[in-house]
Amino acid sequence: MPSNDTQTEVVEQTPVHVDHLIENGELAAENAWCVSYDAEALPEQRPAFVPLALWQANQDDNELAPLLTSDTELTTELGSTLKGASAIAVDFPAFTDGRGYTIARLLRERYGYTGEIRAVGDVLVDQLDYMRRCGFSTMALRDDQHPEDALRALNAFSVRYQTDVEERQALFEKRLTASH
């Protein structure tokens, strides 16, 4: 199997905290969470998203939540383990890495996760609409992104052809309903 490991290149050791969080299509008043990429040690701050294994090893700390890397393979076992998470963060190591979209869809549509799914990392204005459609409920914007651009971008489209996490009827079905 080819290696998909784009994560190893940059490992942030200090917890990351961003100011602008999009929550349910609006700018959240505040962002309490930090994201820690350190695979060995827990951060001091709480609440914190920490790497999956660290979260699994510290399940008694209910101010921790799992951070999934983009190469996470969602097995049935992992899917059911994650049901117990208070929130799940999915990392975008680069905005061009589209694996996180699939991860969010699988969490929602296959494993029935109903809690918060947060996009973290290289999260840009022009990805938000797709992220929301794939099941992300919150998106932590990269620091240089303008929140007003983000809100505009989220409302760019009123039409979609496909089904997604929000839309359960494909346009081809809606058209049939409308014509009857």
Interface positions with other proteins (CB under 8 A): 1-6, 73, 95-99, 101-102, 105, 109-110, 124-127, 129-131, 133-134, 146, 149, 152-153, 156-164, 168-173, 175-176, 179
Query: Whole-angstrom Cα distance, residue 12 to residue 36?
Result: 8
For other proteins, give the closer residue by CB, 91 or 164: 164
Q: How far is the CB of 119 from other proteins (least distance, A)?
A: 12
Q: Measured from the CB of residue 61, what is the shortest distance to other proteins in angstroms?
A: 30
Residue 137, CA atoms < 13 Å, CB-side half-sphere = 9
Pick from 102, 86, 98, 78: nearest CA to 50: 86
| Pick 118 or 133: Cβ nearer other proteins | 133
Query: From residue 36, how far is each of 11, 41, 51, 138 by CA, in Å?
Result: 10, 9, 7, 17
Q: Which is nearer to other proteins, 36 or 70 (CB)?
A: 70
How many residues are recorded in the chain? 180
Cβ closest to other proteins, residue 7 vs residue 81: 7
